[in-house]
């Protein structure tokens, strides 16, 4: 779990375009780490995106403006995408792979890291193959579809001597960093209640997210994982038990394999309770905390922003950042300096979340409180 301190907040505070215009409104505990207009002429971390779907588009845009990373390679099963992306991002043919010849990347010194952005059930295979090829790896959330898969991925990366990160972009986002600080440093006293929910009305969209063999579950694994994360990083504690309830299925054809919605309660050692819902049929995006001496909240809180936040003392006001750029720059800088990634974004953190997701499903299925200790 990420423990926030003034130092980590300052270190991780990514500064995006337009930051200077709002500097005056930044709270005093934030010192900007670098001059945003300062250029970097050093070596960049060469990243290959594996899976060129919707989120890979966001990552590619982040990489275009990244200071420490560049998009150097692609892995795709669709030849036309290899051509289009190759042309658009000037990726030489020797750095374009498909799922069959991917292991050849072991011979490619121009790729330092593989970023796995495939359907969830494919994460394990491609993380392990990337590690065996000697590449560092970032894998998207959820890290994998089972905790035992996460353990295998961690072991494979350790054996290969490469580092493994989970794409937890909100660990570098100023509004969420502020929620961590307010909660963990008990700025408004002990937090008693956290409410955090994320849901989208997915309409008629039918894709792999509704197929259990590829997704591993419904909105809980896709969206609810952010709420589990937010509860944990706001409180700086690990949950000790969970209760959960599936919501009704309103469309039996669409939701034949995965849940449509689910609500759960996490109990923490301090006595704090976190209540969350996630759904593919209703829109919600918020993180709220009630403490002994006040409240603090974000809404929107988890999506790509812009975020809005307020506390019982007034509005929050932070710069809007490019989340993907900020995340990759933070990871890229650490890897370029041959340092270890902080534990709050590594595979160990991804494993903790997947274990909690499994316990939430068990609690919803059995109707019983499930212990997490």
86 touches ligand NAD (CB under 6 A): no
Shorter beta-carbon distance to ligand NAD: residue 286 or 310: 286
Name the closest residue to ligand NAD (Cβ).
53
The answer to whether residues 298 and 198 touch, using CB atoms and an 8 Å cutoff, is no
Left (φ > 0), alpha (ψ -120 to 50) or beta: where does 208 sit? alpha
- Determine the interface stretch with ligand NAD among 88-96, 112-120, 228-236, 342-350 (rule: CB under 6 A): 112-120
Cβ(191)–Cβ(291) below 8 Å: yes
- Residue 358 Cβ vs ligand NAD, minimum distance, rounded to whole Å: 17
Residue among 171 and 237 whose Cβ is closer to ligand NAD: 171
User: Which one, 123 or 352, has the nearer CB to ligand NAD?
Assistant: 123
Handedness of CA 204, 205, 210, 216 (dihedral sign): negative
53 forms part of the interface with ligand NAD (CB under 6 A): yes
Contact flags string 320-339 toward ligand NAD, x per CB under 6 A: --------------------
Cβ distance to ligand NAD smaller for residue 166 or 363 = 166
- Strand residue runs (E) in the chain: 45-50, 69-75, 96-97, 113-116, 136-139, 164-166, 191-201, 241-246, 261-267, 273-279, 281-291, 294-298, 309-311, 314-315, 370-371
Nearest CA to 85 out of 104, 71, 70 is that of 71
Longest pairwise C-alpha distance within the chain: 59
Q: Which is nearer to ligand NAD, 61 or 186 (CB)?
A: 61
* 214 binds ligand NAD per the rule CB under 6 A: yes
Minimum CB separation of residue 170 from ligand NAD in Å reads 9
119 touches ligand NAD by CB under 6 A: yes
Part of the chain binding ligand NAD (CB under 6 A), chosen from 18-26, 52-60, 85-93, 239-247: 52-60
Q: Which residue stretch of 114-122, 184-192, 250-258, 261-269 sits at the interface with ligand NAD (rule: CB under 6 A)?
A: 114-122
CA 217 – CA 254 distance, rounded (Å): 13
- 3-state SS, residue 364: helix
Per-residue H/E/C for 22-84: HHHHCCCCCCCCCCCCCCCCCCCEEEEEECCCHHHHHHHHHHHCCCCEEEEEEECCCHHHHHH
User: CA-CA distance, 260 to 203, in Å (whole number)?
Assistant: 12
First to last CA, the chain: 15
Any contact of residue 52 with ligand NAD (CB under 6 A)? Answer: yes
Sole binder of ligand NAD in the list 60, 105, 118, 130 (CB under 6 A):
118
Which residue in 222, 243, 278, 279 binds ligand NAD (CB under 6 A)? 222
117 binds ligand NAD per the rule CB under 6 A: yes
Q: Does 51 bind ligand NAD (CB under 6 A)?
A: yes
Per CB under 6 A, 120 contacts ligand NAD: yes
CB of 142 to ligand NAD, least distance (A): 7
The string of DSSP letters for 116-134 reads E-S-GGGHHHHHHHHHHTT
Site size toward ligand NAD (CB under 6 A) is: 20
Q: Is 169 a binder of ligand NAD (CB under 6 A)?
A: yes
Candidate residues 67, 141, 254, 344; the one interacting with ligand NAD per rule CB under 6 A: 141
Which positions ≥6 away from 272 have C-beta within 8 Å? 190, 191, 192, 193, 194, 235, 237
DSSP character at residue 226: H
**Binding flag, residue 257, ligand NAD (CB under 6 A):** no
Provide φ and ψ at 70, rounded to 5°.
-145, 150
Min separation Cβ 11 and ligand NAD, Å = 21
Which parts of this chain interact with ligand NAD (CB under 6 A)? 51-56, 77-78, 117-120, 140-141, 167, 169, 207-208, 214, 222
């Amino acid at each position: 779990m990420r423990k926030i301190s003034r130092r980590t907040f300052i270190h991780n505070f990514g500064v995006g375009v337009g930051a200077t215009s709002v500097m005056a409104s930044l709270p005093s505990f934030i010192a900007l780490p670098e001059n945003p207009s300062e250029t970097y002429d050093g070596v960049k971390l060469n990243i290959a995106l594996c899976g060129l779907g919707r989120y890979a588009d966001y990552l590619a845009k982040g990489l275009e403006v990244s200071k420490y990373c560049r998009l150097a390679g692609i892995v795709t099963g669709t030849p036309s995408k290899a051509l289009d992306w190759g042309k658009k991002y000037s990726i030489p043919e020797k750095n374009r792979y498909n799922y069959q010849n991917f292991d050849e990347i072991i011979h490619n010194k121009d790729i330092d890291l593989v970023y796995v952005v495939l359907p969830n059930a494919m994460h394990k295979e491609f993380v392990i193959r990337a590690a065996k090829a000697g590449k560092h790896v970032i894998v998207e959330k959820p890290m994998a579809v089972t905790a035992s898969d996460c353990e295998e991925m961690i072991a494979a990366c350790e054996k290969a001597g490469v580092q493994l990160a989970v794409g937890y972009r909100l660990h570098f986002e100023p509004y969420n960093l502020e929620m961590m600080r307010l909660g963990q440093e008990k700025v408004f006293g002990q937090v008693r209640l956290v409410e955090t929910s994320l849901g989208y009305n997915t309409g008629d969209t039918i894709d792999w997210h509704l197929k259990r063999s590829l997704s591993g579950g419904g909105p809980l694994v896709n969206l609810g994982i952010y709420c589990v994360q937010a509860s944990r990083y706001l409180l700086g504690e690990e949950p000790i038990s969970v209760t959960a309830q599936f919501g009704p299925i309103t469309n039996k054809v669409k939701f034949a394999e995965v849940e449509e919605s689910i609500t759960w309660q996490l109990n923490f050692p301090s006595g704090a309770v976190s209540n969350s819902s996630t759904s593919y049929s209703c829109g919600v995006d918020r993180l709220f905390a009630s403490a002994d001496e006040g409240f603090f909240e974000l809404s929107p809180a988890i999506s790509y922003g812009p975020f809005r936040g307020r506390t019982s003392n007034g509005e929050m006001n932070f710069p809007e950042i490019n989340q993907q750029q900020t995340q990759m720059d933070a990871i890229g800088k650490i890897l370029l300096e041959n340092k270890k990634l902080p534990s709050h974004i590594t595979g160990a953190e991804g494993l903790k979340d997947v274990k909690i997701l499994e316990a939430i499903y068990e609690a919803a299925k059995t109707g019983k409180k499930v212990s997490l200790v």
